[in-house]
Amino acid sequence: MDEGWTRYVFDTFNVPYKSLSETAIAEANPRVNFDVIILPSEQTRATPDGEAPPENQRGIADAGY
């Protein structure tokens, strides 16, 4: 949902943007192509024991991308 609102604001004010996937970030050096990368909030639903399901445990890797 947060990503949708971010896109809405960019579209409203004609701010150019490009969506990136985890794969695209891992395969290239993002510093070469981008000045700013905005990461929308991605809160996941945790199970009763506090752990998110494996499919929701993605994110920026230890390598920094």
Q: What is the pLDDT of residues 21-47, one digit of tens each?
A: 777 777 778 888 888 888 766 665 555
Going 53 to 25 to 18 to 12, the CA torsion angle's sign is positive
Do 21 and 60 contact (CB within 8 A), yes or no?
A: no
Domains of the chain, residue spans: 2-56
pTM, to two decimals: 0.54
Angular region, 14: left φ>0, alpha ψ -120 to 50, beta rest: left
pLDDT reported for residue 42: 60
Q: Percentage of residues in the chain with pLDDT exceeding 70?
A: 58
Instruction: Give the containing element (helix H, strand E) for 32.
Output: helix 30-33
Distances (CA, A) of 12 to 4, 33, 37, 46: 12, 23, 19, 34
